[in-house]
Structures are given as C-alpha cells and as structure tokens.
Structure 1
C-alpha cells in the first residue's frame, strides 16, 4: 500500500526482545486485573505480564512508599507483583472490617489484671520477614510476672519470677529489651527473647511512667515518678545519668519524646494549676557537671494531653484548661543561645477553643504530618486542622474511646468496654478519614490498641461478641491483627 509505512514482520521475528518490549509497553495501559488475565494467554504474554517493571509501576502509582523487605528474606519471594497483590488484599480486608479479616487468639496464664502489652520484633529490624515470622509479645500483670508469648501458636515462651504487682511495661526501640515497673518503684530490664533479667533500678516510687528512646544509637530510659521527678537512665544496665523535678508533689503521668529525640515533654494531669515542662534531651542524657538540665515551663495549666507533630519535631500540641473551657494550643520549641547561657524558648503558634458536647477524664490526642490533630474524649472523636477548623467528627461508639493511633493514612480506635468494635478510618485526602471499616470485638477492651507488624493472613476462629469476659484469676488476652495501610 503506497503512502503507508509497512512493517516487516519477518524482521521483527529476529528481535524477540523488541517484541517483548512492545508487549510490556502495551500492557502498561491495562489495569492489574486485565494484566493478570493477559498473562494466561500464552507463554510470551505471560513473560511480559510478569515483568517487574510493570508491577513496580503499579505499586509506586498506588503508594508513595513500598518496602519489599517485608516480604521475607528469600530473594525469590521479593517480587513487585507479590507485594502488590498482598498489600491490595490487606487493604481490602481492612476496608471491609469483617470478622474473617483478622485473627484472634486467647493467651491465658496471668492470674491478675494485665497492665500492659508490648510487641517484640521476631526478626531483625534490618531484614523483617512479616509473612513467615513468629512474632513475640510480652505482657505485664498485677500478678507480678512478665510473660512472653508466641502469638502464632498462642503459647507461653517464658515467665519472669514473681515480684511485686507490676504497673507498667514498655519495649525498647530495637524490640530487644522489655522494661517493667512495679508498685514499689523497681524498674527492671529483661531480654525479650530469653526472659533473662538484665538490671534493676529502684525509684522508691509507687508510680513510674516509662519512656525509652535512642539518641545516636545510645540507649536511654526516662522515668517519671510519683513525686514529680524525671530520672534518666542509660543502657539496659540502667545507669543513672540525671534527675530533675518537673511537678513537685504530683505524679508525672505525661511523658513524651519528640520525633528527632531533641525534646522531652513531662507533666501531670493531677493539678489544674501546674504547667508542664519541656526539657532538652541532651541535658538529661549528657548533663554538664554542676548545671541543672535545660528546662522550660509551657505557658498553660491543667494540661490533659499532648503530642509532638510528626513532621515538625519541635512543634508541640496540648489540650489544656483555657480561660472558660478546654483549649488546644500549639507551640514551637527552640533553644536561644547567648554568650553566657542557653535558654529554651516556647512560642505559641495557634490556639483555639474545643467545643465538645461532653468531656471525659481520659483525653487522647494524636497528630498526622504537620497540620492535622485528632482528639478523642468520651464518645466523641474530632479531626482538626492546625488552624482549628473541624475537618471530621465521629460519634459512633456507645462507650468511651480508650485508645487510638494514626498509622499512615488510617485512624484506628476502640472503645473501653462492651461496644465490641474496633473502628478504622482511611483517608481519601491528606486530612480527613471518611471511609469506615469496623472490626468486631470479642469482649470489652480497656488496654492500649495493639497493632501488629505481622500482617500475614491466617485463618482463625470467629469471635462471638456475646462471649463473656473471663472471670478474675483467668485473664484472657485478645490479640487482633489490625491490618495497616502502610507496611
């Protein structure tokens, strides 16, 4: 045909790679469902449809961050297609929130009330293998024991010797050490995998708030006591580095570290007249001889909740008592250095009143990025912008909200007692959580929300919402894997 370009088919047959490239380019216009169907047509189409380039493109178009190492340590298991299909499956389960979309196991053994529950990493942090891992969790109880469990098998791994009733438990950032505190003020560290006691430190306080963090690969633990002091210990051997009083005569029950580990926030909820304090972390972990830690009061009173903004680590948001009602105020924290000394400057950025229909003694505050704040009080949950604009409001529970967390673009929270649900909101925009999933609970949940790093789908028994709460003396942990948007 004159006037038209004629392709020599015989020439192309000698260049199979060129044909494969053309197929891959054509397949790039297909959605993932059609691409899977096309892979079943013939061998050549299958090889083109399995191209890592195509599935990598699908992943990065859908998610801004992808970590293939979560698929396992075996090289052949790390494929973009496998990652895409697994993650889509988990997102679908989370969106539906059906009872078959998660696994529930009972871990029985404690004879007292469980006061805390911590996940330990079953694999190294550098090479996580969430699909084949045997995740370990540790629990602390008023029966005076720390127990470690294999949550895949529901089996007890080890149990610490009985001591005074425990009041708190945390794990370190590397998920290798467990720290516990008892009602007599003894703080102890335990090897997470073996249960071996590493060290013990006495605060002589009936209340201990625990905060573990690492600074330049150095391990630190800051303890808030019932007498209002903050004590900082180094290494799992618990060597004391410093101590400072922040709320004399009142227990320290608010203790936070900024995302960049430069600031410690400490305060009490028990006094309406005292102001919380911001402390320079370096002055606690590496104090200068003869000098007090660098500390500054935040100019508010009656603080009930606080959070550092994730992407602006020197920005702090607080819920506190305002002139007439509760208010939410945001501060920027910085160090001002002069020739002779350094001082902490706390400068107000924004402040707005909180108009909730009712208030609870338990106020929860979380943050997303640099401009979204999430507040829970009683039955109410509110999402605010940094300027105070109400972005979303939820009042779906029949009992007070006991815990919540923001994971990626998902907001997860659960009630304190018999409402039997954990709710998930996923953001369709950077600042709002409009779509809903709901996970049934077996029995009422009063502890912190547990989100597992193990996202593997395994069949499990369906939980009956009418199942009675275990009687005292036979405590049952309910472990739910809440599927997270981000791996």
Structure 2
C-alpha cells in the first residue's frame, strides 16, 4: 500500500509479441494468471497466460519478463481463454469452436474437443469433486465437461438467446448465466444440478427480474451475494444486489433470489462499462475519467480523479483495484476497512510505456497479484507490448 513507482522493477516482455507489419498489427488479446498468483501457493513464481492474434497461446514468467512457453500456431483465431491456476491448466476456444486444454509445457494439448455448436463463453472452476468447464453457446445452452479430459457431464438449455456470460460463485455453489438480449432475463443455476444431473429432472434455477444485464459480480467475501449492473435505457444505469439461498425440504429444493438493495445512477453520469465488488456492501465502477465507490444502497462513499482521460479498464480482486486509461497510465488502489464499509486507498500511478507519448490504439488491460502488475499496451503504429512491474522486496 505504501509502494511508490520507484519501488517497482519495470520490464517489457521479450520474445515475439508481434510487430505491426503493413496494415497488420499482432495483438495480445486476453490475459489470465496461470499459476503463482495465490499467496497460499508458496514457492511458485507468478506466470500468466496470453493469447494473440497470431493464433498462439503464451506463458510468461512475470518476475523475469520472459516468455517460457508458446503453443504452435493454431489454424484459426483463439477467441476465448480461461485458466485454472490450482491445476496449472489453460483452456482455449477458437473460431471453429474447438476446445483445447493445455498445461503450458508441452507442444500438444492435453485434450481437444470440437463442438457442434457456436460457442460464445467459457467458465472453469474447481470443486471437491474435481475440475470442470462450462461452455455457453449461441442458442443459450450450457455444456458441462470435466477437466482436463473434456468428458461430457450435462447439456441444458438455459436461455432463449446467446449465452454471453457464465460466472460461478466463489463457493462454486451457483452459476450465473446471462445474455445481452433485452427481452431475456438472466438466471442463476444451482451448480450441483449441472455437475451431477438427475435423470428426468430439470436443473434448478431462479430468474432475476432485470433484463439487459451488462456486468455481474459475485461478492468475494459474501459468497452467496450477486450484484448486477443493468441498463434501463441507453442513458440510465442501475445496480441491484441479490442474496441466493437453497432450502432443502424433504425431497425437494427451493431456490430464492432475495433482492436486498438497488439504485439508479443520476442521468448526468457517464454510463459505466466496468464494475467490481468485494465484501458485498459496496460497488466500485468508473464513469469517464473518475472512479466511484458506492454502497449497494446508492450512497456515494468516495470519488477518485487520478486519470486525465476516460478510464477504459477496471480490474478487481479481494485486495486490489486497477484502472487503466489511454492517458498511458495505470493506477493502483487497495481495499481497506473503515467503519461499516470497506474503503479504497489510492496507492500509486504507474506509467505504462515510459517516455512513449504515442496514443494507445486499444484499451490497455491489466491484472495484478501481491507483488506484480502486468499490463497489455497497444501503441498506434507499433507493437503490442506486455509490460510487467515487480515490487522490489
């Protein structure tokens, strides 16, 4: 929390990110931790996975700033990436709807499966019963598979529109399923029904009465609590929070989503694109160049003005909040506890490309752990660069 920019070692990743050639610029498009980001997993260096427009998957040593593995070039564009750091697994989905599971050590994937449907979303998670992959498709169906074998477990129809978002709760008890169609309500499924489907029984779920959901986050410290951001019209944004319960009575189970708070932003505010939650009592989101922290009831707690330009990306975990802007800067915040609500402490402002005054042609994205910050920066007329900050310990 007390770190300053000079306390970080700055590295730009080396090893074939892809330079602009003619009218083509090769981009790093997604980024996830592969292993080492969890403080409880001692003795491991932080490693991240990225996919690029070169149709390749990469693994990078964050502390050294070097590529440690790359996959062979795939036959088509990789459109989704998910990782399971606890098992050192990465899952890719390409434009031909082929799913591949990688250990980021060997040239060939551990398992491959080509779906017969158009896939649009991925979610991976680990339970006491094993590791699982959820796939959402264009027709609103959810496919549940084992990892790393990609063995089919269940297939259910969830929505009557493309299933754009799948999010599992921190306790892996609930699965949030949502599309962006105005007339289709999002649903929350009991994960057990997808992982261990009962013959002849439909999976248990509850619909949430807020269409056109654009973001949803499970509270990290209150595992049955879900906050969604929705749009009432093109200029009005609201947030609503639910507590999920499953009551077992006799041989039946009843699911309830109890709305505990809701509020609308004032018409004069920018429409936010990103949000984050931590303990379930507050919401952090961006509006233009400003960052706001509200209670779930709509009380403004804090406003930050650390960026000159519009905030284009927001990332949160249980400790940190990161924001990036096309002003070539990243800002780090940390959660702190004050009175009845958590607060955010502004920590430091880091330059993404030192001395580079060219504008970004794509929105910078960033992630961090307790000692490292990693950001993908795409400069106009140049390469996509993986920037890594490591805290000098």
Return the TM-score normalized by structure 1.
Answer: 0.69
Once the two structures are overlaid, the 10-residue window that deviates more, 204-213 or 388-397, is 204-213
Number of the residue aligned with 2:112: 200
Moved more, 178-187 or 188-197: 188-197
- Counterpart of 1:437 in structure 2 is 348
Residue 31 of structure 2 is matched in structure 1 by 117
Residues 426/215 of structure 1: CA separation in 2 closer, same or farther (3 Å cut):
closer
Shift of 1:215: 1.1
Superposed CA RMSD in Å reads 3.0
How far 1:302 sits from its partner (Å)?
1.3
1:240-251 equivalences in 2 (<5 Å):
240-250=152-162
The aligned counterpart of 1:78 is none
Instruction: Specify every segment of 5 or more residues in structure 1 that has no aligned partner in the other structure, as ranges.
Output: 1-90, 457-462
**SS across alignment from 1:237:** coil
Equivalent of 2:363 in 446, 453, 477:
446
- Choose the corresponding residue for 1:412, options 299, 309, 322: 322
Change (3 A) 1:451 1:435: closer
How much has 1:297 moved relative to structure 2?
1.0
Q: Which residue of 1 aligns with 2:197?
A: 287
Once the two structures are TM-superposed, the CA of residue 389 in structure 1 deviates from its matched residue by 1.0
Match of 1:388, SS state, is coil
Structure 1 position 394, deviation (Å): 2.5
State the match for 1:160 in structure 2: 71
Q: Which residue matches 2:121?
A: 209
Tell whether the 8 Å contact from 1:140 to 1:169 is kept in structure 2 after alignment.
Answer: yes
Residue 267 and residue 449 in structure 1: after superposition, are their counterparts in 2 closer, same or farther (change >3 A)? same
Q: Match of 1:197, SS?
A: coil
Question: In structure 2, the residue corresponding to 1:192 is in which secondary structure?
Answer: coil
Counterpart-to-counterpart distance in 2, 1:432 and 1:345 = 30
> For residues 380 and 124 of structure 1, what CA distance do their matches in structure 2 show?
29
Structure-to-structure mapping, 1:49-88, within 5 angstroms: none
Greater helix content: 1
Q: Does 1:254 pair with 2:171?
A: no
Specify the alignment match of 2:22 in structure 1: none
Q: Is the 8 A contact 1:119 1:138 kept in 2?
A: yes
- Cα distance between partner residues in 2 of 1:297 and 1:213: 22
Distance 1:377 1:275, change over 3 A: farther
Matched with 1:478 is 387
Higher strand share: 2
Judged with a 3 Å threshold, the aligned counterparts in structure 2 of structure 1 residues 275 and 226 are, in CA distance, closer, same or farther, namely same
Residue deviations 1:13-33 (CA, integer Å, cap 9, x gap)? xxxxxxxxxxxxxxxxxxxxx
Question: For residues 240 and 432 of structure 1, do their structure 2 counterparts lie closer, same or farther at Cα, with a shift above 3 Å needed?
Answer: same
1:167, 1:207 within 8 Å by CA — same for their partners in 2?
no
Judged with a 3 Å threshold, the aligned counterparts in structure 2 of structure 1 residues 476 and 207 are, in CA distance, closer, same or farther, namely farther
Contact 1:452 1:482 in 2 (8 A): no
What is the rounded CA distance, in whole Å, between the counterparts of 1:241 and 1:99 in structure 2? Answer: 51
Contact 1:173 1:214 in 2 (8 A): no
Question: SS where residue 363 of structure 1 aligns?
Answer: coil
1:187 corresponds, among 99, 109, 118, to: 99
Deviations 1:231-269 (A, max 9, x none): 11112111111122233232x222211111100001023
Q: How many residues align?
A: 372
Give, in whole Å, the separation in 2 of the partners of 1:447 and 1:100: 22
Q: 1:268 aligns with which of 154, 157, 179?
A: 179
Q: Does 1:304 align with 2:214?
A: yes
Tell me the residue number matched to 2:254: 343
CA contact (8 A) 2:236 2:267 kept: no
For residue 313 of structure 1, give the secondary structure of its aligned residue in structure 2. coil
Structure 1 distance, partners of 2:202, 2:366, is 37
Q: Which moved more, 1:149-158 or 1:194-203?
A: 149-158
Aligned to 1:230: 142
Q: Are the equivalent residues in 2 in contact too, given 1:264–1:278 (CA < 8 A)?
A: yes
Deviations 1:361-392 (CA, angstroms, capped at 9, x unpaired):
x6222112231221224433211113221101
Q: Based on CA coordinates, which of the two structures has the bigger radius of gyration?
A: 1
Q: CA deviation at 1:124?
A: 9.9
What is the aligned counterpart of 1:366 among 276, 279, 283?
Answer: 276
Provide TM-score, normalisation by structure 2: 0.84
SS of 2:184's partner is coil
